[in-house]
Structure 1
Amino acid sequence: MGWETTDNPKTLNHSGHLTWTVESTTNWNIHLSCFLTPLPDATFEQCTVTPKFVLYTFPEKISISSSSGSDGVMNVKEEHNFTCHINHVAPVQNLTVRWYKGDKLMHTDAFSSPNKKPENQTSVYSFTPTRQDNGITFRCEAHMDLGPEGPQLNVSSEEKRVTVHFGPDIKCLYSINILEGETLESHCPVEGNPRPSVRWMKDGHGIDPGSPLYRGDAGMYTVKAGGVSVVKKVLIFYGPNLKCPNSYTAVEYVPHNLTCTVEGYPQPNITWYKDREEVSPPENLTRSDAGQYVITASNSLSSDNCTVEITVLYPPSPIVELEDSEVDVGSDVWLKCSSKGNPQPKYSWNYYQTTNVLEESEDGVSRLYIHNATAYNMGSYTCHALNERGNVSKTVRVTVKGAKQECPIKITPDRMVISFNGTGPTATCKQTSTTTTNVKEIYWDVDGSRRTNNESWNADTHEDWNADPVCIATFEGLGTCRKPLNFTLYKTPDSVLLHPCLQLDLSERGRSVPAAV
Structure 2
Amino acid sequence: LLACKLLYIFAYPYKSYCVLAGKPVSAACKIEMSPPRVMVKFGHSLTANCTSLYSEIAGIGWESTYGGVGLQTGISTLPFKIDTVERWVIQPTCYVTLPNGDQCEEPLPVTVYQVPESVSIAQPLSEAGPMVEGKQYRIQCDIVNVAPASLLSVYWHKGNKIIYHETFKESTLSPVNKSSILNLTAQRDDDGSQISCEAKLDLGPGELNHSAVQSKSHEVAVLYPPAFINPETETVELSDRENIILYCNATGNPVPVYSWDFPQAIQEMSKNEDVNQPFLIPSFQFPGNYSCKASNTQGTRIKYFTVIEAPSKLLLLNSSHFSACSAL
TM-score, with normalisation over the residues of structure 2? Answer: 0.64
Distance change in 2, residues 1:10/1:173 (3 Å)? closer
Aligned counterpart, 2:316: 243
Q: Structure 2 CA distance, aligned partners of 1:35 and 1:105?
A: 46
Which of 108, 116, 121 in structure 1 is aligned with 2:178? 121
1:91 matched residue in structure 2: 148
Which one has a larger percent helix, Structure 1 or Structure 2?
2
Distance 2:76 2:303 in 1: 94
Sort the Cα spacing of 1:150 and 1:37 in 2 relative to 1 into closer, same or farther, 3 A.
farther
- Tell me, what secondary structure is at the counterpart of 1:28? coil
Given the alignment, which residue of 48, 55, 76 partners 1:16?
A: 76
Q: Deviations over 1:116-147 (max 9, x none)?
A: 11111122121112112210111222222223
**CA displacement at 1:311 relative to structure 2:** 8.8
1:225 equivalent among 295, 301, 306:
295
Go from structure 1 to structure 2 and tell me whether the alpha carbon gap of 1:100 and 1:226 turns closer, same or farther (over 3 Å shift).
closer
Query: Does residue 1:59 correspond to 2:59, yes or no?
Result: no
Instruction: Please give the alpha-carbon distance, in whole angstroms, between the structure 2 residues aligned to 1:142 and 1:91.
Output: 12
RMSD: 3.5
1:192 aligned to 240, 249, 252, which one? 252
Distance 1:245 1:222, change over 3 A: closer
Residues 147 and 224 of structure 1: CA distance in aligned 2, closer, same or farther (over 3 Å): closer
Query: What CA distance in whole angstroms lies between the structure 1 residues aligned with 2:292 and 2:327?
Result: 52
Structure 2 vs 1, CA of residues 53 and 229 (structure 1 numbering), >3 Å: closer, same or farther? closer
Distance 1:157 1:140 in 2: 6
TM-superposition CA deviations, 1:158-187 (whole Å, max 9, x none)? 211101111245678775423444433x2x
The 3-state SS of whatever aligns with 2:127 is: coil
Tell me the distance in 2 between the aligned counterparts of 1:245 and 1:173. Answer: 32
Evaluate the alpha carbon distance shift between residue 9 and residue 172 of structure 1 in structure 2; reply closer, same or farther with a 3 A threshold: closer
Q: Of 218, 233, 241, which residue of structure 2 is paired with 1:160?
A: 218
Structure 2 distance, partners of 1:140, 1:127, is 13
RCO higher in structure (CA 8 A, sep ≥6): 2
1:62 is displaced (CA, Å) by: 1.7
Measure the CA separation in 2 of the matches of 1:174 and 1:94. Answer: 53
Contact persistence 1:72–1:161 (CA under 8 A): no
> How far is the alpha carbon of 1:232 from its aligned partner?
6.0
- Give CA deviations for 1:477-514 in whole Å, capped at 9, x if unaligned: xxxxxxxxxxxxxxxxxxxxxxxxxxxxxxxxxxxxxx
Higher alpha-carbon deviation: 138-147 or 211-220: 211-220
The secondary structure found in structure 1 opposite 2:280 is coil
Judged with a 3 Å threshold, the aligned counterparts in structure 2 of structure 1 residues 111 and 233 are, in CA distance, closer, same or farther, namely closer
Q: Do the aligned partners of 2:222 and 2:253 also contact (CA within 8 Å) in 1? A: yes
2: CA distance between counterparts of 1:22 and 1:200? 80
The CA distance in 2 between the partners of 1:72 and 1:230, in whole Å, is 25
| Secondary structure, aligned partner of 2:189 | helix
Counterpart of 2:221, as a letter, is: T
For residue 109 of structure 1, what is the amino acid of its counterpart?
Answer: E
Letter matched to residue 5 of structure 1: S
Structure 2: 5+ residue stretches without partners: 1-59
State whether structure 2 residue 327 is matched by structure 1 residue 258. Answer: no
Supply the distance in 2 between the matched residues of 1:229 and 1:135 (Cα, whole angstroms). Answer: 22
Amino acid at match of 1:154: A
Selected match of 2:86 from 23, 26, 43: 26
CA contact (8 A) 2:252 2:296 kept: no
**CA positional deviation for 1:90:** 0.8
User: What secondary structure sits across from 1:151 in the alignment?
Assistant: helix
- Counterpart CA distance in 1 for 2:127 and 2:149 is 28
- Is the 2:188–2:222 Cα contact (8 Å) retained in structure 1? yes
Matched to 2:88, the amino acid is: W
TM-score of the superposed pair, with normalisation by structure 1: 0.43
Give the corresponding residue for 1:145.
202
Distance, in Å, in 2 between the alignment partners of 1:6 and 1:55 is 14
CA distance in 2, matches of 1:191, 1:97: 34
Q: Would the aligned equivalents of 1:66 and 1:80 in 2 still touch at CA under 8 Å?
A: no
Cα offset, 1:65, TM superposition: 3.7
Contact 2:290–2:304 (Cα < 8 Å) also in 1: yes
Pick the aligned partner of 1:3 from 62, 66, 76. Answer: 62
Q: Which amino acid aligns with 1:28?
A: W
Give CA deviations for 1:53-74 in whole Å, capped at 9, x if unaligned: 1100002542124585525521
Distance 2:67 2:318 in 1: 117
Residues matched between the structures, number: 250
Per-residue CA distance 1:431-460 (angstroms, 9 max, x = gap)? xxxxxxxxxxxxxxxxxxxxxxxxxxxxxx
- Tell me how far 1:107 sits from its aligned partner: 2.0
Amino acid of the structure 1 residue aligned with 2:91: H
Contact 2:117 2:143 in 1 (8 A): no
Matches within 5 A, 1:3-402: 3-8=62-67, 10-14=69-73, 15-39=75-99, 42=100, 45-59=102-116, 61-65=118-122, 70=127, 73-148=130-205, 151-152=208-209, 153-169=211-227, 175-180=233-238, 181-184=243-246, 186=247, 188-202=248-262, 203=267, 205=271, 207-208=274-275, 209=277, 210-213=279-282, 215-216=285-286, 218-221=288-291, 223=293, 225-226=295-296, 233-240=304-311, 241=313, 242-243=315-316, 258-259=322-323
Unaligned runs of 5+ in 1: 249-256, 261-282, 284-309, 313-517
Q: Distance in 2 between matches of 1:137 and 1:236?
A: 43
CA distance in 2, matches of 1:16, 1:219: 97
CA distance in 2, matches of 1:77, 1:173: 23
